[in-house]
Amino acid sequence: MALKFSIVTLFSFILSLAVIYKAQSVTIDIKKFGAQNGDITQAFTNAWKEACAATSNVKIVIPKGTYKMSGVEVKGPCKAPIEIQVDGTIQAPADPSQLKGAEQWVTIGYVSHFTLSGHGIFDGQGATAWKQNKCGSNKSCARRAMNLGFNFLNHSVVRDITSKDSKYFHVNVLACNNFTFDGFKVSAPHDSANTDGIHIGRSNNVKILNTKIATGDDCVSLGDGNTRLVVKNVECGPGHGISVGSLGLYDNEDNIDDFLVKNVTIKNADNGVRIKSWPSTPVSITVTNMRFEDITMVNVANPIIIDQEYCPWNECSKKSPSKVKISKVYFKNIKGTSATKEGVILLCSKSVPCQGVELSDINLTYKGAPTVAVCANVSPKISGKAPTCTAAKSIF
């Protein structure tokens, strides 16, 4: 009887704590801080300061409507979880110079248990920036601001928000741990240069789920130093597909391990799933445990590609092969239509040939006929229905 009483008492105590904890949560309407001429830059900053100082859960609400906002950077550490619920449309300055060289329009950093939610839109108004983009011909070009930057976040979520017409990348994820995008949307036209959807660098356990990305560059791109990443139930296109890299350009890069892409549809894109590294690379890093499964291609120019001679606009030296070591790469159950006859291109490095590459159940067609595979410095394992390799030309 005493034991039963103790359990009941303990349960009641826990329940009462939960009720108290919930009751102490706070909601802050951005309008509390005013909006001069519809501009919420200062209001957003003030709301964050109040939320970050709170000792219980806080939700900052940006209600329906259209607002202007200049560049903002907010950061922790904060004392309790913070959620920003955006139901309106927030517009960046159309003139790129008004962001004064900022890398991101909205930057959030150094917090844990952060949530960005709602059905609102971050509109980067990037059309002017795209016209000014000369990065294809000028290495010292001015980089424009990304829409959203998430730096050093832990246990955080971005849910249902839309990023529209960013001037540069839409989202940059840097040094984050246990970070999930769910129901996220990215929207930009196919000719918007360098507007990668989500770029991830030096992060662990990042998930991109139930997301739609239409843009002018990679839907998802991975920089170096990433581990345990998942892209699942995602629609990609137009754009340049899902890319690991480009890698090996800088001397301080780190390895990539454990990337799963599953249940993805890629439409009208320049590439499907891709791993790319520069030749004549200064560092020896590894890329391993890459799994691309259950993917549908619709009119994709290069559905499956490993390119270790990546050198757009001849911006690199071609004196020696890439030192990036690629291993344990699995392409499984990939079907659909290719916009080129070569549906599979595996162009690996002569100095460190790819190892442990598998092609399983690859059913890609070009104008109704099966596509072919071209390969260099790799001997993939074939299982099920998949094209066998013919020799590819290499620059080395």
Alpha-carbon distances of 327 from 146, 200, 275, rounded to whole Å: 32, 20, 11
User: Could you tell me the sign of the dihedral formed by the alpha carbons of 361, 366, 371, 376, in that order?
Assistant: negative
**Dihedral through CA 197, CA 203, CA 209, CA 213, nearest 10?**
0
Active site residue 240: yes
Report the alpha-carbon distance of residue 37 to residue 35 in Å, rounded.
6
User: Which value, to the nearest 10 degrees, does the dihedral of the CA atoms of residues 54, 55, 56, 58 take?
Assistant: 20
User: Is residue 239 a contact partner of residue 273, using CB atoms and an 8 Å limit?
Assistant: no
Judge whether 89 and 111 are in contact, CB under 8 Å: no
d(CA 82, CA 259): 29
Structure tokens at 392: 């590819």
**Which of 70, 76, 50 lies closest to 61, judged by CA?**
50
> Which one is catalytic: 155, 170, 199, 240?
240
Give me the half-sphere count of Cα atoms (radius 13 Å) on the Cβ side of residue 218: 19
The C-alpha torsion from 102 through 103 and 109 to 110, rounded to 10°, is: -100
Residues 6+ apart with CB under 8 A from 134: 141
Q: Are strands 256-267 and 227-236 parallel, antiparallel or unpaired?
A: parallel
- Name the token pair of 126: 């990037």
Question: What radius of gyration do the chain's Cα atoms show?
Answer: 23
Q: Which ranges constitute the DSSP H helices of 338-379?
A: none
Q: Which residues are catalytic?
A: 240
